[in-house]
Amino acid sequence: MEPGRNVAVYGAYGHTGRFVVAELHERGYRPLLAGRDPDRLLALAQAQPGSEARRASVDDPASLDRALDGAAAVINCAGPFATTAAPLVEAALRAGIPYVDVAAEIEANLDTFARFARRAVAAGTVVVPAMAFFGALGDLLVTTALGDRTAADEAHIAYGLSSWHPTAGTLAAGAVSARRRGGRRVRYTGGRLEHHDDALPLLEWPFPAPLGPRSVLGEFTMADVVTVPSHLTVPEVRTYMTARAAADLSAPGAPAPAAVDGRGRSAQTFVVDVLVRSGGAERRASAAGRDIYAVSAPLAVEAVDRILTGRTRATGVVSAGAVFDAPDFLRSLSAHLSLRLPE
């Protein structure tokens, strides 16, 4: 296979990493499997004919360089991203290749924008953090709802999850973020991030049919407060989470996702409903699908494919809505998402 089809996946044997590896295979790419654990890498390589295992650690830059040797791009699936993102971006810049990750950590994504923006532009490469269910999907929907506009008064992103059985990586990343913000919560208001100790309000959100109205926690803040304001002028960005899913996430001993089909997906379903307000006008867009971890794979792999085939609008550290044609990107995922977009 030609070198341009080699894509390194760091954290390839993790829960989301396995979905990404499978998606790359389906799209005709050759995954270069990278991570710390040689036994898990070897087992995955044996289960994925044509893959190559490359042991690497974020505290060993030389090993990262070897892992990215001959790669056309790298997808980072290994959290906590507060630990892994910067070393992998550094390695990608040394290799002169694009970097994509699936980070949901607000602080880690902020770090990537702040630390690497100028260097990525100078290198003429693309760094796309949060190219996953949290961060990218909401950003793409908000950008699509805005159409040709780049500003609005408010953007509301409601997550209608039927349940949330978290992976070990999700729990670890959440713990890191909580420590970094001193146990406080975060909101995006008045054009900036604020930390607060207020209790989250319980509200009702009118999700589209067939889900319908559901109780949600307001200001359940996700990575959209980083991705959306990175390229759109929206002083109020608010995210919401169904109360049932939030309770699942915080329950002691929360079970991990259980596979129920041959692709390894769980039974969890989701609706992401976006409402954008500007003046007296409102515009909506929504996407529905199955398994928030599994759907991150086509999001990340489609991003890599568009970068490698020149279908981008910018260089540097960029969000999905800034670097891609948002409505076209969403429609390309019709096998994974049911969409309701403005005409």
CATH number for position 250: 3.30.360.10
Interhelix angle 81-95/106-123, nearest 10 degrees: 10
pLDDT category, 2, cuts 50, 70, 90? Answer: low
| E strand spans, 162-235 | 185-189, 192-196, 202-206, 213-218
Q: Tell me: do 192 and 272 sit in the same domain.
A: yes
Q: Tell me: do 236 and 283 sit in the same domain.
A: yes
For 127, the enclosing helix (H) or strand (E) is strand 126-128
Phi, psi torsion values for 80, nearest 5 degrees: -65, 135
State how far the Cα of 83 lies from the Cα of 77, in Å rounded to an integer. 12
The pLDDT of residue 283: 97
State how far the Cα of 243 lies from the Cα of 202, in Å rounded to an integer. 8
In the predicted structure, residue 17 carries a pLDDT above the cut 90: yes
Of 263, 267, 304, nearest to 289 by C-alpha is 267
Of 130, 115, 152, nearest to 280 by C-alpha is 152
What DSSP state is assigned to residue 255?
P
Kindly provide the b/e burial profile for residues 25-48, where b requires at least 16 CB atoms within 10 angstroms of the residue's own CB: beeebbbbbbbbeeebbeebbeeb
For 286, the enclosing helix (H) or strand (E) is strand 281-290
In the predicted structure, residue 1 carries a pLDDT above the cut 70: no
Q: Tell me: do 182 and 249 sit in the same domain.
A: yes
Length of the chain, in residues: 343
Average pLDDT, the chain: 96
Q: Tell me: do 238 and 322 sit in the same domain.
A: no
In the predicted structure, residue 74 carries a pLDDT above the cut 90: yes
State how far the Cα of 102 lies from the Cα of 60, in Å rounded to an integer. 22
Tell me the residue range of the domain where 206 lies: 135-292+333-340
In percent, how much of the chain has pLDDT > 70? 99
State how far the Cα of 304 lies from the Cα of 311, in Å rounded to an integer. 10
Q: Tell me: do 237 and 112 sit in the same domain.
A: no
pLDDT digits (tens, 9 = 90+) for 135-193: 999 999 999 999 999 999 999 999 999 999 999 999 999 999 999 999 999 999 999 99
Q: Tell me: do 140 and 264 sit in the same domain.
A: yes
State how far the Cα of 20 lies from the Cα of 286, in Å rounded to an integer. 23
User: CA dihedral defined by 90, 94, 100, 102, rounded to 10 degrees?
Assistant: -30
Give mean pLDDT, residues 9-24: 97
In the predicted structure, residue 302 carries a pLDDT above the cut 70: yes
Q: Tell me: do 111 and 215 sit in the same domain.
A: no
pLDDT digits (tens, 9 = 90+) for 111-139: 999 999 999 999 999 999 999 999 999 99
State how far the Cα of 17 lies from the Cα of 149, in Å rounded to an integer. 35
Q: Tell me: do 281 and 140 sit in the same domain.
A: yes
Q: Tell me: do 186 and 220 sit in the same domain.
A: yes
Of 298, 286, 261, 292, nearest to 163 by C-alpha is 292
How many folded domains does the chain comprise?
2
pLDDT digits (tens, 9 = 90+) for 219-249: 999 999 999 999 999 999 999 999 999 999 9
CATH classification of the domain holding 73: 3.40.50.720
Q: Tell me: do 10 and 88 sit in the same domain.
A: yes
pLDDT digits (tens, 9 = 90+) for 258-297: 999 999 999 999 999 999 999 989 999 999 999 999 999 9
Q: Tell me: do 149 and 223 sit in the same domain.
A: yes
Q: Tell me: do 174 and 300 sit in the same domain.
A: no
The CA distances from residue 102 to 81, 92, 148, 281, in Å, are 9, 15, 27, 33
